[in-house]
Chains A and B, each alone.
Chain A
Amino acid sequence: MHRQNYYREILRIRRVEEEIIRLYPSDKIMSPVHLSIGQEPISVGACMALQPEDVVFGTYRGHALYLAKGGDLRQMMAELFGKVTGCARGKGGSMHLIDLAHGVMGTSAVVGTSIPQAVGYAYALKAQKSKSIVVVFFGEGAMEEGVFYESLQFAALKKVPLIFICENNLYAIHSHSTGRHAQPRHCDRVEAFGIPARRIENNDGEALHDAVTDARNAILKHGAGPFFFEAMTYRWQEHVGPGTDWHLGYREENEISAWKACDPVLKLANELDPDILTRIDAEIQAEIEDAVAFAEGSPFPQVEELYTDVYA
């Protein structure tokens, strides 16, 4: 895995979301934002193992996935600003990012709902003898929904070319996972369906990258699949919104230190050449400034747009 790219991709997403935090008080982004800060290594590690023609499905916490899969930053920023140049013409907002050209198939705001679509998409790819795969991302909360198990059942039955990635950040809004599961070993439950399952600790996007690479090869070369990975990670910000939420008392602030200790941005910055770091910073900065200027300069949709795209 190209570690410099890995670092750069994570940093890019983090800087984008930091810019969203900075802009938020201006009310230019009138949209709920579910930030991925802290969790970017999962999307980045997994997507670096994919090809452009592979497709991903995700959730409302989707900025990182969208960008990691190659989603257009200008169009994302414009979407957050509610502009007609946004990836959904301003109609979807932060929770519904999409970039078909880069295999981002959309993100749903109803927990668990995109999982069966990923299964169906993968089924179709197999039927079409395609050489690409599907990856679906979701939180551990989604594993409580019945539709998750219905999806596992069919995906295993039909051996679809799909990788399930559970981003386990321990919390669903303010509820700790242990308060919602009698048995926290998620992988055991998935294995019971006949799906190989593996847990990856410590927000380790590099290990996830290698695992996804192997799984993808097994799917495309040997018709294996589906696979399941539980990637342990941690959300640094509040569930929704630009701030932090330590004051709410549902989690201890010192819980974050272990996650910061294994954060790739902080860790890899010490390993890479300072000149390269400076260059990367400047490039990212320029790209973000360009995207924000693009969003600012774009028009809002015309009123007539309210009625378009209800039907084909």
Chain B
Amino acid sequence: MDRIIKCSEAIREAIDQEMAVDERVILLGQGIDDAKGMWGTTLGLQKKYGEERVFDTPLAEDGMTGVAIGAALAGLRPIHTHIRMDFLVLAMNQLVNIAAKTRYMYGGSLGVPLVVRAVIGRSWGQGAQHSQALHSWFAHVPGIKVVMPTTAYDAKGCLIQAIRDDNPVLFVEHRMVHQAQSHVPIEPYALPLGKARILSSGTQLTLVATGHMVMESMRAAEVLKTLGLSVELIDPVTISPLDSATIFNSVEKTRRLLVVDNGWLNCGFSAEVLARSAEHFQGAGNISYARMGFAPVTCPTTKALERQFYPNVFNIAAKAADMIAPGISLSEELCPEAPEITLFRGPF
């Protein structure tokens, strides 16, 4: 059975269903037991599974990450939550030096089956310290997987797989993507990590987008369709390990690759995708490459500047159009600001 639900509901359902069948799964994080339940993603779970398996934590990201790792070493499967990805910076040591390294540095004798959920913020003045997208940092490190689903369907399937996975998995969410709806089966199902999804097929340009930029790119692809331009939109879903093959297959056909990352460009995911493609094709067949992402600055709070900080439907579509048919003109009126941005009124 299948119904349309929000991404946030799919996340809650995934946790609920895994907790129901696997007693080793525990859920911890700041405020997960409160009346808002992390935008609904943890609502009711403490009531259902008890305070030993579902609990609020002190404000101690570094320490609690280590605690979660320790519990994982003892055989539990912790899911540790963060309402903003920015706070992961405090947990970096435990995640990078311990969680990611344990299996290898002990010669395979130990593992850390841990899921870390972190939410990227955007809009309403989230600003410098509540809007960062740091998936590329973690993808740089061997030993930790990084997943960043953008449909409710992928969110549920990937989270279930992340919980079952014997490795540390960083599960990246986006405040604006939480509201996105899609068909989701009621039954539990796991999707393999490391598998990209082709969201719409096309022939003239391969557009690889992440996080909230998937929603923006989907709209851009629709606009381009009205101009007779055909875009293949790929959501990598897993940032690391990356499904390069799906991207190469598409680029083989389209000869154009545009990456729109929900993050900064410098030394980031977009650079990785372009580098892999360039290495793979070795200049064969004149492939054109481009990438877009956050402006190379700290995220400003004022709307007047924040608007320029992120790629949007219009400049994504304009970039793609220019790559396919240089000189083609695109009216900004075809590309209104995303409703999830215009309708969002905070306060957080």
Query: Footprint of B on A, CB under 8 Å?
Result: 24, 27, 30-33, 82-83, 86, 90-96, 108-112, 141-142, 144-146, 172-175, 179-181, 240-242, 248-250, 300-301, 303, 305-307, 310
Q: Which one, A110, A142, A248, contacts B34 given CB within 8 A?
A: A248
Instruction: Decide: A303 near B59, CB < 8 A? Known: A30-B346, A110-B87, A173-B31.
Output: no
How far is it, in angstroms, between the C-alpha of A142 and the C-alpha of B34 when the chains are bound?
19
* Bound-complex Cα distance A92 to B129 (A): 10
A residues in contact with B61, CB < 8 Å: 145
- Are B302 and A241 touching (Cβ within 8 A)? no
In the bound complex, how far is the Cα of B300 from the Cα of A83, in angstroms? 12
Measured CB to CB, the residues of B under 8 A from A are: 30-31, 34-36, 56-63, 86-87, 89-90, 124-130, 295-298, 300-305, 308-309, 345-348
Contact A174-B127, Cβ < 8 Å, known A91-B300, A146-B60, A306-B305: no
Contacts of B90 in A (CB 8 A): 110, 145
Name the B residues within 8 Å of A172 (CB-CB): 30, 59
Contact A31 B346 (CB under 8 A): yes
| Distance of B236 from chain A, by nearest CB (Å) | 28
Query: Is A310 within 8 A of B297, CB to CB?
Result: yes
Pairwise interchain contact A248-B308, C-beta atoms closer than 8 A: no
How far, in whole Å, are A303 and B309 apart by their CA atoms in the complex? 10
Nearest-neighbour CB distance to chain A for B342, whole angstroms, equals 11
- DSSP majority for the B interface? loop
B46: min CB distance to chain A, Å: 12
Evaluate contact between A240 and B295: CB separation under 8 angstroms. no
Contact of A94 with B298 in the complex, beta carbons under 8 Å: no
Tell me if A90 and B309 are in contact (CB < 8 A): no
Q: What is the minimal beta-carbon distance from A170 to any residue of chain B, in angstroms?
A: 14
Q: Are A174 and B34 in contact (CB under 8 A)?
A: yes
Task: Pick from B36, B296, B301 the residue with the most CB of A within 10 Å.
Answer: B301
Report how far A174 CA is from B129 CA in the complex, Å. 21
Q: Which residue of B57, B300, B348 contacts A241 across the interface (Cβ within 8 Å)?
A: B348
A141 surroundings in chain B (CB, below 8 A): 59
B31 near A82 (CB under 8 angstroms)? no
Closest CB-CB distance, B81 to chain A, in whole Å? 13
Q: Is the CB of A306 within 8 A of B59?
A: no
